[in-house]
Each structure stands twice: as C-alpha cells, then as structure tokens.
Structure 1
Amino acid sequence: MQVIIRADASSEMGTGHVMRCLVLGKDLVEFGADVAFICRKLPGNLIEKIENDGFPVYEVSDDRDGAESTAILSTFPMVDWLIVDHYELDRVWEEKVKHLAGHLLVIDDLADRPHLCDVLVDQNYFPHQEKRYESLVSEHTVKLLGICYLLLRHEFRQTERKRQGPVKKVLLSFGGSDPTNETMKALEAIAAIPEIEIDVIIGAANPYYQELKAYCEKQQNIQIHYQINYLARLMSEADIAIGAGGTTTWERIYMLLPTLTIETAANQSEILAQVAKEGLVCHLGKSEQVTSKQIREQFLLMISQPQLLAAMSKKAETFREKIDPLAVARFIMKGES
C-alpha cells in the first residue's frame, strides 16, 4: 500500500501538523505500508526530521494551486491513500489531486472550510462534534471524530506518570515554534519560586532559542531541552506543566499531568475552552492578554491546592481510557472508506 502525506511545518504555523502525521506515518509503516511526504521548505520546516525518521520527502515551492503535488503524485504507479493535514488547503486543492489517489483523507480541527474527501479525521473533543462538519463535507464522507482517534506519539504509549505528592518539578512547553515567546514569559513568572526545578522544552523552529538558552544557563534550577524525543519521560517526572494548546494538550491529559494553559494560536481557542470547562486544565486565556504576574499568581494558587491537582489528574483518567492511538492507522489499512 502506498500512502502520501501532504503537511507543512514552519516557525510561523508551528510543527503540530507534521508531528501528528509522523505518528500516523510510523503506525502505517509498522502495518506494512510505504509512506512518503510532500512538504514546502519553509523557514522552520521539519524536512530533515522527517527524512531522519526514514520517510522520503518531495519538496514543493508553493503548491496552493495543487500543480506541484499533482506532478509528484503522477509519478507513482498507484497512490492508495493521500493524507492532507493543512489549514491552507481545502476543497479547491483537493479537487485537483483527488483523482490521483484511491482514497483521500483530511485531518482537520478548525471546521472552517469545505473538503472533498473520503474520510475526515478530527481528533479533538468538542460538544456536538458531528454537526461541525455537516455543511463542509459530503454525506458520503466517513467522519472519524473525537479523542478516540488521537494520533498519539509512540513514546507516550509506553510511559506512565511517576510523580505524586507536593510540587517539585515543573514542565514548560509551548510547542515547536512559540513565535510570541511565551516560554520566556512563563520563566520570568516562576524561575525565582523556591524549591522547584524547571524543565524547559524548546523546538527546532523556536526563533528565541539562543536567548532562552542564555537565560536558562544562568539559573541553577532550570534545565533546557532542545528538539528532544523524550518529552513523555519529562511529563512523567513532572508535577505540573505550563504550556500552549494544540496536540500537546492531549499528550498532557494522557499523562494525567495538571496544566496551566495559555492560548498561542486562534485554532487552540475552542479546544482549550472545552477542556477547561471539563476541569482538565486551568486556562489563563490568550497570550497577548496574559502577563507574567498572572502566570505567577495562578501557578502559586494551583500548587497550594494539592486536591485541585489530584482532581485534574483523576478527570484526565476518564479521557485517557477513550483513546485508541492505532484507530486511524487500522482504518486506513482496512480501506473502509
């Protein structure tokens, strides 16, 4: 079976689309499929990482009209599945390439544009989820909706959270790019709090890496981790996290890790509001409206209430039980569209 994945990463758009597609790609390879990627070489791209993970990458320069992807797809004798995970691509692009693949699967969570696809995957948790795509896809489109279809990285499937008791270790993680430098804002808020250790995660697309590295090296209680593959272990060792929304929201919930969240992109708004309503996170709001002072005050309040942290972890357990990380890959391999 030949699978082609169309996804991009950059400092501006972040790395989440490519990272979750890598999860799916690895699962499909383990099931016996051949997988390749089509990507634009944008600033902060993850093409080198994709190749290092063992996948061929075909580069395109623009591709908004689908011409470059069409040319690449046409070189394959047969493409069984074309998978698209991209906020800038919609039905217009899909119409131009769909005839070149046996099945077209779209990964989305915005529900803000029409799609021409056989299968639509939205791995997030929304009330009335079915209705979000009613007018955006055909009645024949198979919709795989909800956290049961979460594309969870392999490292999380094999790791259990270890920490309990008073807060001693904090995890800061604002995704692969963090264009507004929320990491520094959070560090300034909590670095001076006594008797805590801080693990700071920095992605390769983060434009503030050198500034953050210099800051962290001056602090004895801060350890910086750059473009790592052991985030699950750090989550398992943490008592509390501070971070953004996106896919990592569900990774923290899966690890039962209480979290203070800040919205860093518009597409995170609905998801963070919903998980906060469910008591799974404590949400501060949009990044431009959140100050270091607010982060510090809310953080101190949370760590002074161990019963609150325990309740957040307990609620996360009910969501973790619903997750089947292999559900999408199994569906594709069965060809049930």
Structure 2
Amino acid sequence: MQISIFCDATPQSGLGHLKRMQKLKALLETMGAQTTLFASHSTDLPPDWHKASIHAKVVIIDSYLAPLSFYKTISSKLVVFEDMPQTYPPHVFVINPGYQAHTRYTTTAQQNPRYFLGIDFLPIDPLFISKNKALKPTLSKLFLSFGGSDLALPFYQKALNLLQKTPLEVHITAPLNIIQALQINYLQSPKYYYHANACFKDIAFLMQESDLALLAGGGMLYEAILSKTPIIAIPVAPNQQPQVQALSAQGSCHASSLEGLLESVQILSPLHNRERMQKDQEKLKIGHKLHKTMQEILTC
C-alpha cells in the first residue's frame, strides 16, 4: 500500500512533527506499507504541497501550516495528527496523541469513531523503552533538550546559565544551529557536552544514562517517560502548557519554569522523589493502541 506523509519542519514549529511522523513511518513499514515522507520546507509560510504528486491510497498530515485548501484536494483516505482541535472534512480520521487529549474535545468528537484521542495512539520508537532503569542515589548527569524551534534558543541559554551553579554534568541535544549558538558562550565549560542532530538511537542512549531530564513539552517528554527518566518540564510555547501541567499532576514529570529551575533540581535530588515519579511513569500505556488502530484505518 502506498502512503504519503506530510509534516512541518520549520524554524517556528521545530522538528516535533517530523520526528513524530518518522516514528509513524517506521511503524507503517513494519506493516508492509510503502511510505513517502514530505517535510521539505524551511520557512514558516504554508508549504506548497499542492505540487506534490499524490497517488497514494492513504495520506497522513501532521501540520500547523497546511491550508484547509490542501485537505480539500485530497481524495485518498486521509488521516490527520493534531495537538489541538481543528475542523476538517467529515471523512477524515483524526488522531490527537496527547495526554488526556479527550478533555479538549466536544462530547460529539469524543464519541466519533473516526477520532482517536490520547497517548495510547502516540507513535513511539522502541529504542526508548526501558523496563528497569535503576536510579542512582545522587544526581550527576542531566539530559537537556528544549527542541529545535526558534523559540527554544533563549530557554537553552538561560538554563545553561543557571545550571553552571550546580555540579551536574549536562548533555545538550539540539539541532546544529542551536548548538553552534550555544557554544559561542559556553564552549569552555568542562561540564557541558554538545550533541548536534543526534539520531533516535543516540538520544535514547543519552537519556538512559542520565539521572534527570530537563525538557520542554514536546514529544521528547514521552520518550523520557518511556525510558523511566525523572523529568523537569519547562514549556517553551503556550500550546505545551496543558500537556505539561496534566502530566505533572499525574506525577510523570515536575512542571517548572526557568525561575524555579534550581529549586526543581533540589526537589528531585532525593532518590525517593525520583522513584515515586518513575512509578507514576510506569502507569502510562504510551502508544500501545496505535498499531492496531492504523491497521484498522488502512483496511477499512
């Protein structure tokens, strides 16, 4: 089966949509599908996907920028991944894989058999799954990533300024342009290690080796939960706030701010606090319904 996937990868939106669709692409290929991924636009303007030849039986879109006119041109079976409720043609399958996503939808949408809401439907990479990560008594290594959007750079800069006051070894994972900007000011710090354009395998390894993760509210939050790594979460965009607050209330992360970062590190320094968070992370069943759901969509 031929499947075309369209997603954002821009300075404003960062790489979250692209990474989510890369994971979905890998899953679909294990199911025997032939997939093509379109993410070749580097500005914050709506992508000109109309020119893309769409002969696929199924089209999947994960985009803030795609205009409504693009959705209307698609005659193939259409699946949309989204983070906030939008309006689509009635034949569309809608997947929102955010934690407690159903709370943002009307009762009608929740009961619609074409809507799939919640972390059960999140694309994941099995590399991140840890069954028994042992936590160390003392914090020593911190994994830091605020994503790859333009909004993230000042968060990296301010966090690194604050973390200089701690004894933590910090591993920074970000796109090359952000790493280069950070190295101008922090190149000489012996505690900071930079990982530019790291692949899923390298990110999973770094996360597994870390005692604590400092993240924004994107997809990497769920990767850290899968790896059973204690998390401090600081949203870098308003749309990340509901997800971070909900997961913090559930216990899988600690919601914070740049102003409260050092205090949050102290809160998670005691081993028993991190162990309690890890137990709450284990309660979440991330992505476990997606394979069956995609099979049903493709064959209906």
TM-score bracket for the superposition, by shorter chain length: 0.7 to 0.9
- Decide whether aligned partners of structure 1 residues 34 and 160 sit closer, same or farther in structure 2, where only a CA change above 3 A counts: farther
- The residue number in structure 2 matching 1:49 is none
Tell me how far 1:301 sits from its aligned partner: 3.3
CA distance in 2, matches of 1:31, 1:198: 38
Q: Which amino acid aligns with 1:302?
A: L
CA distance in 2, matches of 1:281, 1:82: 34
Aligned with residue 51 of structure 2, among 54, 68, 73 = 68
CA distance in 1, matches of 2:96, 2:50: 27
Residue deviations 1:42-94 (CA, integer Å, cap 9, x gap)? 159xxxxxxxxxxxxxxx9843xx6434xx11xx3xx2210011123365432
- The residue number in structure 2 matching 1:318 is 283
Aligned with residue 186 of structure 1, among 159, 170, 182 = 159
Residues 136 and 271 in structure 2, CA contact (< 8 A), matched pair in contact too: no
Residue deviations 1:29-54 (CA, integer Å, cap 9, x gap)? 2221111123342159xxxxxxxxxx
CA distance in 2, matches of 1:90, 1:270: 25
- Structural mapping, 1:1-337, within 5 Å: 1-43=1-43, 62-63=47-48, 67-69=50-52, 72-73=53-54, 76=55, 79-89=56-66, 91-97=68-74, 99=75, 101=76, 103-111=77-85, 113-116=86-89, 117-126=91-100, 129=102, 132=105, 134=107, 141-157=113-129, 161-177=133-149, 179-181=151-153, 182-194=155-167, 196-204=168-176, 207-229=177-199, 230-285=202-257, 290-291=258-259, 294-303=260-269, 305-319=270-284, 322-324=285-287, 327-334=289-296, 335-337=298-300
Tell me how far 1:259 sits from its aligned partner: 1.2
- Decide whether aligned partners of structure 1 residues 201 and 176 sit closer, same or farther in structure 2, where only a CA change above 3 A counts: same
So what's the TM-score if we normalise by structure 1?
0.79
Residues 140 and 211 in structure 2, CA contact (< 8 A), matched pair in contact too: yes
CA distance in 2, matches of 1:118, 1:141: 11
- Decide whether aligned partners of structure 1 residues 90 and 143 sit closer, same or farther in structure 2, where only a CA change above 3 A counts: farther
Residues 233 and 253 in structure 2, CA contact (< 8 A), matched pair in contact too: yes
- Decide whether aligned partners of structure 1 residues 28 and 9 sit closer, same or farther in structure 2, where only a CA change above 3 A counts: same
- Decide whether aligned partners of structure 1 residues 144 and 90 sit closer, same or farther in structure 2, where only a CA change above 3 A counts: farther
Tell me how far 1:131 sits from its aligned partner: 6.4
Tell me how far 1:7 sits from its aligned partner: 0.7
- Decide whether aligned partners of structure 1 residues 119 and 90 sit closer, same or farther in structure 2, where only a CA change above 3 A counts: farther
Tell me how far 1:140 sits from its aligned partner: 5.7
Residues 18 and 39 in structure 2, CA contact (< 8 A), matched pair in contact too: no
CA distance in 2, matches of 1:82, 1:213: 40
- Decide whether aligned partners of structure 1 residues 23 and 174 sit closer, same or farther in structure 2, where only a CA change above 3 A counts: same
Q: Which amino acid aligns with 1:29?
A: E
CA distance in 2, matches of 1:250, 1:134: 26
Q: Which amino acid aligns with 1:184?
A: Q
- Decide whether aligned partners of structure 1 residues 223 and 313 sit closer, same or farther in structure 2, where only a CA change above 3 A counts: same
Equivalent pairs counted in the alignment come to 295
CA distance in 2, matches of 1:131, 1:268: 13
Tell me how far 1:191 sits from its aligned partner: 2.1
Residues 118 and 141 in structure 1, CA contact (< 8 A), matched pair in contact too: no
Residues 143 and 207 in structure 2, CA contact (< 8 A), matched pair in contact too: yes
Gap regions ≥5 residues in structure 2 = none
Tell me how far 1:300 sits from its aligned partner: 2.6
Residues 261 and 283 in structure 1, CA contact (< 8 A), matched pair in contact too: yes
Residues 200 and 225 in structure 1, CA contact (< 8 A), matched pair in contact too: yes
CA distance in 2, matches of 1:311, 1:247: 22
Residues 256 and 313 in structure 1, CA contact (< 8 A), matched pair in contact too: yes
So what's the TM-score if we normalise by structure 2?
0.88
Residues 135 and 271 in structure 2, CA contact (< 8 A), matched pair in contact too: no
Identity in percent: 22
Residues 3 and 80 in structure 1, CA contact (< 8 A), matched pair in contact too: yes
- Per the alignment, in what secondary structure is the counterpart of residue 257 of structure 1? coil
CA distance in 1, matches of 2:193, 2:174: 11
- Per the alignment, in what secondary structure is the counterpart of residue 114 of structure 1? coil
Gap regions ≥5 residues in structure 1 = 45-59
- Decide whether aligned partners of structure 1 residues 130 and 279 sit closer, same or farther in structure 2, where only a CA change above 3 A counts: closer
CA distance in 2, matches of 1:8, 1:265: 16
CA distance in 1, matches of 2:80, 2:198: 28
